[in-house]
Amino acid sequence: MTPLLSVRDLSCRYETRDGPLWAVRDVDLDVMPGETVGLVGESGCGKSTLARCIVGLTPASGGSIRLDGEELLTRRGPSLAQRRQMQFVFQDPFASLNPRRRVEALIREPLDVHRIGTPAERTRRARELMERVGLHPDWGRRFPHEFSGGQRQRIGIARALALSPRLIICDEPVSALDVSVQAQVVNLLDALQRELGVAYLFISHDLALVEIFAQRVAVMYQGRIVEQGSSAEIWRNPSHPFTRTLIEAIPIPRVDQRSF
């Protein structure tokens, strides 16, 4: 099977007063149609920079990014048609939504940009997406501040689904949420994948969450992918010292028998 997303030798650097800072170095990564690939690593290791390079929000310094076999880096960035196939769910549901716009307008904005359908059809699509992610369609006239953190992330997911993408990049989508709400959002993403066949690149520092949600895992350390494999392989037989450190850092719940 041909990868939906194929990244080869991708690098990205930032210019600083002390010289170039390489945030991403020589990364190879594939995402197959309909699968979830978890990208894990410590804060500052380059996960978000890699994600932003893939969607064209941050310019790459070199390498190749192919979406459904078509090279993206030969241009200044992905074309509008290519952007429709690849959407982004941001980490912070509080900062990623324009507080001055009503939720219905936020969700239909991608349809407005790409001029898909009539205004009435776009509004109807926005209401359908709200219902699909578990929000009442009549809430579309509200503003983002009237929603909880988990509800705002659902709004972000609905906006990402508006163009029926084949790939959604989720950049730490639950890290700003309470644990119980995290489970609800992950369950929603899982249900949407089974229903729509969308693929995810799911970025997280939580290896335990990724082990449950992703079919394959890539471990990032200091800007490089140091280990890749199936979730079961990475969990049971990690080969890189940093991966073993991540696994060892996962808290193991214990029951204190004296409390009974």
pLDDT tens track for 19-54: 888 999 999 999 999 999 999 998 889 999 999 999
User: Are 154 and 180 members of one domain?
Assistant: no
Top-confidence residue, 91 or 256: 91
Is the pLDDT assigned to residue 79 strictly greater than 90?
no
Is the pLDDT reported for residue 92 higher than 90?
A: no
Do residues 76 and 178 share a domain? yes
Residue by residue, DSSP assigns 129-197 as HHHHTT--GGGGGS-GGGS-HHHHHHHHHHHHHTT--SEEEEESTTTTS-HHHHHHHHHHHHHHHHHH-
CA angle, 149 as apex, 36 and 83 as ends, to 5°? 45
Asked if residue 210 belongs to a domain, the reply is yes
Q: For residue 238, give the 3-state DSSP assignment.
A: coil
Domains in the chain, number: 2
Query: pLDDT tens digits, residue range 163-208?
Result: 999 999 999 998 878 888 888 999 999 999 999 999 999 999 888 8
Residues 217 and 193 in one domain: yes
In tens, the pLDDT along 99-133 reads 999 999 999 999 999 899 999 999 999 999 999 99
Pairwise CA distance, residues 165 & 184, whole Å: 22
Domain closes at, from 164, 179, 211: 164
* Calpha distance 92→99 (Å, rounded): 13
Are 72 and 102 in the same domain?
A: no
- How confident is the model at residue 258, as a pLDDT? 54
> pTM of the entire structure?
0.90
Q: Is residue 160 part of a domain?
A: yes
Pair 81, 170 in one domain: yes
Greater model confidence, 152 or 17: 152
Residues 177 and 76 both lie in one domain: yes
| Separation of alpha carbons 21 and 15, rounded Å | 6
260 within some domain:
no
| CATH classification of the domain holding 34 | 3.40.50.300
Report the mean per-residue pLDDT for the chain. 90
Written as six digits, the tokens of 7 are 């990244």
Domain-terminating residue out of 110, 139, 164 = 164
Domain that holds residue 38: 1-85+166-251
Q: How many angstroms separate the CA atoms of 27 and 46, rounded? A: 10
Are 22 and 122 found together in one domain?
no
Same-domain check for residues 45 and 150: no
* Same domain assignment for residues 159 and 178: no
Are 68 and 176 in a shared domain?
yes
Q: What's the mean pLDDT in 151-169?
A: 96
Domain end call among 109, 136, 164: 164
Same domain, 120 and 58: no
Q: Is residue 90 part of a domain?
A: no
